[in-house]
Structure 1
Amino acid sequence: MLRRALPGRCGFCLAAAEPERPWCAACFEALPWNLPACPGCAEPQPPGSLSDRRCGHCLTRPPLFVRSRVPLRYEDEVARLMQRFKFHASPRAGTVLLELLELGLPPGALAWPQVLIPVPLHPRRARERGFDQADWLARRLATRHGLVLARARRCQATRSQRGLDRAERYRNLRGGFEVRGPLPPRVALLDDVMTTGATLDALAQACLSAGACEVEAWSVARTPLRGE
Structure 2
Amino acid sequence: MSKIGEKIVKIFLNLLSVVVIALAIFGAWSLYQMFHGPEAELVTNPGKRLFGTTEKRIVTKAEVETKIYEIGELSTYSGEYNIKKTVDESRYIFDDIKIPGTKNTISLECTGKVKIGYNMSDIEVSVNDSTIHVKIPKGNVMSNYLIWDSIKSSEKNSIFNPINFEQYRKLINEIEEEGLKEVEAKGIYTRADENFKSIIKVFLAEFKDYDIEFTFAYDK
Instruction: Tell me, yes or no, whether TM beats 0.5.
Output: no
Q: Please, what TM-score do these two structures have when normalized by structure 1?
A: 0.20
Larger radius of gyration: 2
Q: Please, what TM-score do these two structures have when normalized by structure 2?
A: 0.21
